[in-house]
């Protein structure tokens, strides 16, 4: 079966997000003062082919834990869609 994984990786809530602060300041400079608490992360899309959805989930988990996310500083979540 073919699947598409949509992975969102974000900085942990307890950590400062310098990119988010810079974007927030830029938005305020543009007069968009109602926006606050900006956090910047990554969105990764990948396709994979496995025998079952459970295998696909396990493979995406492994990819996130071993390479895509820095678990000391980031959290991740993903959705899996059958193609």
Domain of 32 in residue numbering reads as: 2-82
User: Residue 35 in contact with residue 23, Cβ under 8 Å?
Assistant: no
Domain count, the chain: 1
Q: How many CB atoms are closer than 10 A to CB 10?
A: 18
Please report, for the domain that includes residue 24, its CATH number: 3.30.1280.10
pLDDT at 83: 96
Q: How far apart are CA 50 and CA 74, in angstroms?
A: 27
pLDDT at 40: 97
pLDDT at 15: 94
User: Residue 59 in contact with residue 50, Cβ under 8 Å?
Assistant: yes
pLDDT digits (tens, 9 = 90+) for 5-57: 999 999 999 999 999 999 999 999 999 999 999 999 999 999 999 999 999 99
């Amino acid at each position: 079966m073919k699947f598409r994984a949509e992975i969102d990786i974000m900085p942990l809530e307890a950590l400062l997000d310098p990119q988010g602060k810079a974007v927030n300041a830029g938005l305020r400079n543009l007069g968009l003062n109602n926006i606050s608490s900006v956090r910047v992360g990554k969105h990764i899309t990948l396709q994979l082919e496995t025998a079952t959805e459970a295998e696909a989930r396990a493979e995406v988990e492994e990819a996130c834990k071993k390479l895509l996310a820095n678990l000391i500083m980031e959290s991740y979540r993903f959705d899996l869609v059958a193609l």
